[in-house]
Amino acid sequence: MAPRHYTSVLDLSREETLHILKQAAKLKAKWNSKQKISKRLRGVTLATIYEKPSLRTRVTFEAGMTQLGGHSIYLGPNDIQIGKREPAADIARNLSRWVEIIMTRSFAHTTVTELAENSSIPVINGLSDLEHPCQALADFLTIQERFGELRGLKLVYIGDGNNVAHSLMLMGALLGVNVVVATPEGYEPQSAIIERAQELAAQSGATVSVTWEAQAAVQDADVIYTDVWASMGQESEAEARKSVFASYQVTPELMALSGKPATIFMHCLPAHRGEEVAAEVIDGPQSAVIDEAENRLHVQKALILWLLGK
């Protein structure tokens, strides 16, 4: 049988996504009750490929494998030099003979898809320039924990229409969450992603929209989400982006415009206080960023178990 991969939010149906979230909640409850080590993945090895540095992705995948009784191997940028020393296809074919599952944190989404197309074992997208699906799973688990029900909530993403925005739009639409992306002109999400998210939203009874007006967007928001203005690989644009995005900072005043005291703030981290978010917000009582980061651990464990059929 061909392996199941998780290269995109769209690789799972609504029912499968909800199943992963349900299983992640159970795994988290076990972790919190001090049932820390399982034997479900005894003898199983995860190979992790990193083109970009990481705190949350590396620690949560490695710790998650340990907690499930398995093992993780770290392959850094200088270890295999994917696409330079040898092509992704050859790497996938070799790893398929040695380990049971692969995770890659890559610059180009084509690297992720090339690995998956040539692998006989599951491949997980730990981040690419197009999507960040594991982050979206953690985000919606966090939102579900806070509000109980996902359908009908309003999530507003403020900032660059990047990989995080793409995955939030797609998963929100899939799960019946209304998603608004507020971004400067010229920095909108990819049109193909917007169109696909709107198609999914029409099926789930939700809405997905893009605007340049951040203050209007956040009215009635249950969740206000942001990310850095310049992602890894865009360092040369960082200074120019500061002026373009200056009016898109998430401040206490912007949070208040939701009109809902229960509105939460989210960020995939790392964050630049004083740029995309004010310190008073990210370090304040409405912030859910640490819960969100913790939940990367649990959703990834659930995802790995599902992909391996364990």
With CA atoms as reference, report the closest residue to 167 among 205, 139, 201, 142.
Answer: 139
Q: From the candidates 5, 56, 58, 105, give the one annotated as an active-site residue.
A: 105
Is there a catalytic annotation at residue 134? no
Considering the candidates 56, 58, 135, 222, report the single residue annotated as catalytic.
135
| Residue 296 annotated among the catalytic residues of the structure | yes
Please work out, in degrees rounded to the nearest 5, the angle formed at the alpha carbon of residue 286 by the alpha carbons of 173 and 280: 120
Q: Report the C-alpha gap between 247 and 184 in whole angstroms.
A: 9
One-letter amino acid identity for 206? A
Alpha-carbon dihedral 38, 44, 50, 54, rounded to 10 degrees: 10
Q: Is 220 a catalytic residue?
A: no
Query: Residue ranges of the alpha helices (H) in 176-288?
Result: 191-204, 214-217, 238-244, 252-256, 279-282
How far does Cα 53 stand from its chain's mean position? 16
The question of whether 227 is a catalytic residue gets the answer: yes
Contact 6, 122 (CB under 8 A): yes
Please report how many Cα atoms fall inside a 13 Å half-sphere around the Cα of residue 185, on the Cβ side: 0
The catalytically annotated residue of 134, 268, 298, 300 is: 268
Active site residue 105: yes
The single residue of 5, 166, 267, 296 carrying the catalytic annotation is: 296
The answer to whether 267 is a known catalytic residue is no
Q: Which amino acid is at 28?
A: K
β-partners of residue 224 are 156, 265
Residues catalogued as catalytic: 105, 132, 135, 227, 268, 296
